[in-house]
Structure 1
């Protein structure tokens, strides 16, 4: 069964993002106040992600019923007005993710007497999400930023800085860009896009004169680290997706029907864990623990990764369960 999703984003200059697959997403940016904790979603099919300067509303539309999604949108507008927060309807956009064969044009949404603009893609927490859940635009943006920073790396080489200093510069300035939200999009990237990113790394290797961690290694290390963190947190809504088999040597693979779902974070993380080898296990109680892996050093990840993982998984698994990974 394919459903529809709509998403909106609100800000103090509000933005609405809607996705239909059938799925709708809405994000509105706004100022963070102590009273923001009182603004929560009351419907299971609608999720509200709040940040310092923006809020994203994600709605699952089943059977063409958008009442819950529209009610939450109106409730958020009303809540902001009662808490002295102003929404900018002109900067509010909506993205619809809809993978149905017979697609109907989305019904318009009005915010403060202004129609909400429906877009094909939008930038969410530094990453570009498109309505077909492809990552070419996001990877192109990352590649462009990394290539711009190659200039500064070459300047350091002209100044005869030691390799150690240049490696530190690469890790802090270039690798952090290349690995931005990598656990969300890398598994779904095409071989062509991965090659574009790897060429940037090879260019940096030639400038520095030493080998650097490949993008695949960086993705594996970060995915395993994030999976370990989720599996060790009983309060995390995604912990139940890391289920050990009766032998306690491997994890149970997720059932997927589409390549988009297969290449999302949780199925790919389970595959990485199973391929890495048998985990440390307490066989008396069959408690699963992710093991330490000898991987390249990992720099701190931005909390945007968690939110992007939540949105991508929410769509690709057809919204059977909404895993909000804001941590």
Structure 2
């Protein structure tokens, strides 16, 4: 391994105590780095092998036709090769085009589809790229507290829709019980194809806003890598034996990508209430604006709704 590489993985055991600082969380996730370094990141052969052996062999292969069964069976032989490829990708902040290719397969939602809305679009992506994404995801998560967005109830361990519903009910009932003249207004919103709305340049900016400054080893290499990951993605549509001409996408992220939920959570992190009388509770792309109205004064609630629509 090159001396300038900063390993993403190590053989150190996970800490038994709850990590509190960025460094402690990174150590617990098997990450090590030196403060102030901006050298290329790297993955270890051990972590790549572990990712390959944990592949779900029942999942369909991507455009490269490299099945999960092959990757899992030949993990020991392939780990050194893919470790080298992954480290070159991180060092140059570039994702190989063959790893970014995707095949879209329309699957009917019912027996007699009558319109395009009656089809569910299933994206097939490279299995090996998913393994690489898992390593990157663990690395990024080590830098953020698990309670960074306490009102986002999706994509987080030990949280569910029941928790989101309970939060809405608790906020509503607490206000109604404390005020005789007060009432509550709720606005339910659902963003269609939310992952496809991610703007890559804004995503990179969000990462820097959240504390990934040039003093950490995540920036600029990791932000540049994420930007390249989200852009210049070749995509084709396959229906039966027919395949369309490729189309290169430079916006959004596929729902089937391992990094997509994490990136979307960071992308919408700034979607919070401006006024203390309001709450914005999120579950993925479903958002509820809870307005606690005191004495028939809806000004704060209406401004919050107007901000959300911009």
TM-score range, shorter chain: under 0.3
**TM-score of the superposition, structure 2-length normalised?**
0.27
**TM-score of the superposition, structure 1-length normalised?**
0.26
Task: Compare relative contact order (CA 8 Å, sep 6+) and give the higher one, 1 or 2.
Answer: 2
